[in-house]
Amino acid sequence: MAKEKNQKRETEQKKYTLVIVESPAKAKTINKYLGSDYKVTASMGHIIDLPKSRIGIDIDNDFKPEYITVRGKGKILTDLKKFAANAKTVLLASDNDREGEAIAFHIYDALNKRFPELPIKRIVFNEITKNAIVASVKDPQNIDTAKVEAQEARRILDRLIGYKISPILWVKVKNGLSAGRVQSVALKAICQREEEIQNFIPQEYWTLDAILEKDKKEISAELIKINNEKPTIRNNEEIEKIKADLEQGKFIVTEISKSTKAVNPQPPFITSKLQQVAANRLNFSSKKTMSIAQQLYEGIDIGRETVGLITYMRTDSTRISEVGLSEAREYISKNYPPEYLPENPVLYTKKTGAQDAHEAIRPTSVKRTPESMKKYLNAEQFKLYSIIWERFVASQMKPAEYLSESINIQNGNYTFRITSSKMTFKGFNICLDFLKSKEAKSIKIPTLQENEELRKKDLDAQQHFTQPQTRFTDASIIKFLEDNGIGRPSTYAPIISTLLDRYYVVKKAKQIEPTQLGKLVNEIIVTSFSNIVNIDFTAKLESQLDEIANGKFDHLLMLRDFYEPFKLSLEEASKNLEDHKKSFDEETDEICDKCNSKMVKKLGKYGFFLACTNFPECRNAKTIPLAPCPVDGCNGKIIPRKKGPRSKGFYGCTNYPDCDFVVWSKPLEQKCPKCGKFLIEKNDKVHGNYKVCVDEKNCGYKLLEEYSNE
């Protein structure tokens, strides 16, 4: 009897529905929507995962994973169980993707073992707004086990590659290295591009413009054909022959054509395109873009309410919901002239291989314009929100229209052309600010008639050299991975961060350049594990993971098919791989200032440094000097410095405070040919990457790069 009373009392105490999300920011926002009948708390991401200290996969037992409570998350799990004990229902509200489904499953499993009678359901939503949250709570679902299996298969696959190849790298190269399924493909692409750049041999070529006159007005016409074929002018001798031919002939207008061209708006953002545009327009790294997007998604305090300003930011679909389309069209009709609104909503084609689980990234309410939100956002949030809002609204507007004029001018066998383009209807451009294109300067062409002769004023010949491909940037490496079906929306930013963290690549200006270490690791993986970095093979694995998530492929079959040949590659590499342990050690003339032993150049986690050869008796280590101090009379060396752990790095003299020379750009291993001081690398929109003398004011030497930013 007493037991029944206690159970009744416990049931009466269970007053709330427990909602478990991933982050505290999201919990705070959702809690405001649901009221006192709900308790919203955060799991802080994964609570249950594979152990870090060992592989955690029983390969001989159908790749069974060993799941444990994540270190430091024990209290969170205890709290969740405590909250669940007083709940009448639990709703798992982690992100609506494979990773989120796995988080929900592991929480479900832990709570269900403790409270088998407690109803535990899954809710999903694409935006954190009151309507979306309330609707999801009214329609709880079961956990999608196919998605969980896909996440588990991906996790096991990556764990096998990382925990099997990495120890080989530790033994053969150096401790602390790692290999990853997708990061290795990206590293291979970066190394291949670097090799192409280093091996590139520039080829000379020339272009020719005719400076013509009519009514004392100059017109510049470009040589586009010789004998009706694209011109290939290889040297000065050839250009001089062409000039001589032209002096003998006349410049006659032979063809005048005008045409109108419509330029369609771009689709609303998917994850990869958002990262690319944010990199190119705002100079944001992929990691930074996703961090800011997460803030906009999870909730911003806008005075009377906290609301998610954008829909879910990990998506590969350009689909827009009916609600989103309707709201965009209503906004356009009220805020722009009627000729800017298409008759029907603009729908975009689904990209091949897109999972289409979420709609495109868009504002949760188009009425919340960037300007109206500006006072609630920091500068970076405002910029990112602005480009998302602009891209979405523009996507539902009419195309821009241009009037193009093309005039062909003939002189014997040589065809010249004048082109001009002018915007006649702004279309979607009317709503753009951050995303506004630089309009090409419209050339004013005098009125010309066919068969009219134009007077030659000059012939402008220019020498050029062919350029190699540019190095990858954040934007272009993501585009490369996306175009080849490598990785997914959630993985693009971590790939680049991992390569930088491992010192496999470095960034110079916006460009990604492989280090010596990155080149060596890539060579080992390409030689010993060719499948891992094979684009088609990796893309096939991604497709199989998608099929597993859709319930159309057996995850164990995929793992078995992968592991058997991989196992043979591991055995072969362990036996035959050359030892590279001392590859990066280099003798120097530097003397240890503590024990007078010689110092050796070594490779550490963050790059090269000087270490005493008398290690471990002497543990002295120093930063490698980059260049002699350029100050007259100072015999110091320039080294990297920082004022504090969070401050921006700079380069200063070892004789500080006696010498206070500083420079913000990294000194290069290249002397100025004019004054002998060192060069530094700079970047601007006009020249891209270029090198200048550190004494720019007095010396002024400048060397433009053979290639510039993409």
**Residue 43's closest CA among 98, 89, 108?**
108
Do residues 44 and 22 lie in contact, with contact meaning Cβ atoms separated by under 8 Å?
Answer: yes
Sign for the CA dihedral angle at 512, 514, 515, 518 comes to: positive
Do residues 183 and 495 lie in contact, with contact meaning Cβ atoms separated by under 8 Å?
Answer: yes
Q: Classify strands 251-263 and 400-411 as parallel, antiparallel or unpaired.
A: antiparallel
Contacts 24+ apart (CB under 8 A), 247-251: 248/412, 249/411, 249/412, 249/414, 250/411, 250/453, 251/210, 251/212, 251/221, 251/409, 251/410, 251/411, 251/416, 251/453, 251/454, 251/455, 251/456
**Residue 275's closest CA among 23, 26, 481?**
481
The angle subtended at Cα 517 by Cα 512 and Cα 521, nearest 5°, is 100
Query: Is the preceding omega at residue 616 within 30 degrees of 0, hence cis?
Result: yes
The gap from C-alpha 220 to its chain's centroid, in whole angstroms, comes to: 40
- 312 annotated active-site: yes
**Residue 364's closest CA among 395, 385, 339?**
385
Q: Give 656: exposed, middle or buried? Use CB within 10 Å, 0-12, 13-18, 19+.
A: middle
What region does 63 belong to: left with phi over 0, alpha with psi -120 to 50, or beta? Answer: left
User: What whole-number distance in Å separates Cα of residue 194 and Cα of residue 279?
Assistant: 21
In order of 41, 79, 491, 634, 680, the CA distances from 140 in angstroms are 17, 23, 28, 73, 59
User: What whole-number distance in Å separates Cα of residue 588 and Cα of residue 600?
Assistant: 6
DSSP 75-93: HHHHHHHHHHHTEEEEEE-
C-alpha count within 13 angstroms, C-beta hemisphere, residue 618: 18
User: What whole-number distance in Å separates Cα of residue 201 and Cα of residue 167?
Assistant: 39
Query: Which of 16, 33, 108, 312 is the catalytic position?
Result: 312
- Which contiguous run of DSSP H or E holds residue 191? helix 181-199
User: What whole-number distance in Å separates Cα of residue 554 and Cα of residue 542?
Assistant: 14
The angle subtended at Cα 444 by Cα 443 and Cα 446, nearest 5°, is 135
- Residues noted as catalytic: 312
